[in-house]
């Protein structure tokens, strides 16, 4: 079973590195008056991390509101 986990990790690492090296072109992101140029891979990674943080925060807010919101009779 351990070898299966190692094989999956190696396969995912190869896929991520292949994606990274296939998307080296730069993209310009503009937000109001700010402008930033970065590789596409970095932009995708930043959006993914931002989504994880906002999703986790939303999940904990909703979970907390449901705990105290219902009464059992």
The rounded percent of the chain whose pLDDT value lies above 70 is 88
Q: Write out pLDDT tens, residues 21-53.
A: 888 899 999 989 899 999 988 898 899 999 999
Answer left, alpha or beta for residue 34, where phi above 0 means left and psi between -120 and 50 means alpha.
beta
Nearest CA among 48, 44, 45, 40 for reference residue 22: 40
Report field, pTM of the whole predicted structure over 0.75: no
- What pLDDT does residue 36 have? 92
């Amino acid at each position: 079973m351990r070898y299966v986990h190692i094989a999956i990790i190696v396969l995912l690492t190869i896929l991520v590195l292949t994606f990274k090296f296939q998307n080296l072109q730069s993209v310009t992101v503009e937000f109001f008056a700010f402008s930033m140029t970065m590789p596409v891979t970095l932009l995708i990674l930043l959006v993914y991390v931002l989504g994880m943080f906002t999703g986790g925060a939303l999940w904990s807010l909703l979970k907390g509101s449901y705990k105290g919101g219902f009464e059992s009779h």
